[in-house]
Homo-oligomer: A and B are copies of this chain.
Amino acid sequence: MKATIKDVASLAKVSIATVSRVLNNQDNVSLETKRKVQLAMHKLDYQPNVLAQRFVRNISHLIAVVIDERGMTAMDQFILVLLQGVFKVTKPRGYDVILIPGTDLDVNYKSLVAMFNQNMYDGVILTSPTKNQLPYLNLLQAKVPVVVSGRVPEGIPISTIDNDNVKATYVATKYLLELGHRRIAYIGGPSYYWVGEERLNGYKKAISEAGLTISPELVVEDSFDFAGGYRSLQQLLACGADFTAICVYNDPMAIGTIKGLKDRGYKVPGDVSVIGCDNLPIGMMVEPALSTIQSNISQVGEITAKLLFEALEGGESEVTHNLLPLELVKRESCRILA
């Protein structure tokens, strides 16, 4: 049988209260007894039962991270990078991370609340920025500590952290404009998601500010993967669109776009320039186009977790909406190989 606090106490000839004190290294224990206890713990190979600790403290020491189908899709798998950031914060604090696969937050928020009420986790990080208010309201009403990595509907008092998606495509498009391009197309991800909408807005903003009009036939959207990029390009060409450059939602799509262009005999860059926004801090681009905007997902994860702990520890914490700056990384065609 595994040694308990009692065994340690009797071996060290002290009370269990004293053992508990050194276990949680409180300072009201004499050095001598402390040593005695530690010796006993060592001899018995004593390991505190965290299940008991969690029970008596009423703290699960578990952080839930909800990942939707976007996160589970290997194609746009920012979630792993996000988790790296989360771990950086949770691990030192003795918290573990449980993953909640939820294909649809709208459907599953009830079980999220139930899980919280059963003490299955202490706080939750959402990565499924649904535009529906109801899930958030229910979470709030149940007083579930929650932070969102992404965006949240207007008027919902929940802290969020996200990349500055508007700026991403804004900067990218502006870069193309500065190079002299005037007919710039945009290939976007699904505008069902915030990200998709925001990145589209960044493109529009840059175009408008340049005094140009936004041609509807130059703007298409599709799924945020390779195939989506390829299809989008076909769609652009099918409508007889005329452009010298394309701003693309993300890297996988950009790769598809470039492939499509080449299949049609275009030179890239040359006939057409392509710029993509990159979700990951690695060189995934097969055909780096002009340059790429890099977002720091890992940092998003880190800050998300930090905010959650503030809410956990500090009780009432301020609601903040953080936009992380983006890095504009210019890549040469062979930079990847350096």
Contact = CB atoms under 8 A, between A and B. Distances in A.
A50 B98 contact: no
Interface string A114-153: 1001111000000000000000000000000000000000
A47 interface: yes
Contacts of A256: 286
A322 interface: no
Given A51-B119, A75-B282, A231-B337, 6 more contacts: A47-B117, A48-B118, A49-B119, A72-B84, A74-B280, A255-B286
Interface string A195-239: 000000000000000000000000000000011001100000000
A87 interface: yes
Nearest to A97: B99
21 contacts: A47-B114, A49-B55, A49-B58, A49-B118, A50-B118, A51-B119, A54-B54, A62-B96, A62-B98, A74-B77, A74-B280, A75-B282, A87-B99, A91-B101, A226-B336, A227-B336, A227-B337, A230-B336, A255-B286, A256-B286, A259-B287
Contacts of A79: 80
A79 B91 CA distance: 20
Given A55-B55, A80-B80, A286 B98 contact: no
Most buried by B among A74, A79, A101, A114: A74
Query: Nearest 4 pairs between A and B by C-beta?
Result: A55-B55, A47-B117, A96-B98, A51-B55
A52 interface: yes
Contacts of A272: none
Nearest to A225: B282
Contacts of A43: none
Contacts of A75: 282, 284
Contacts of A62: 96, 98
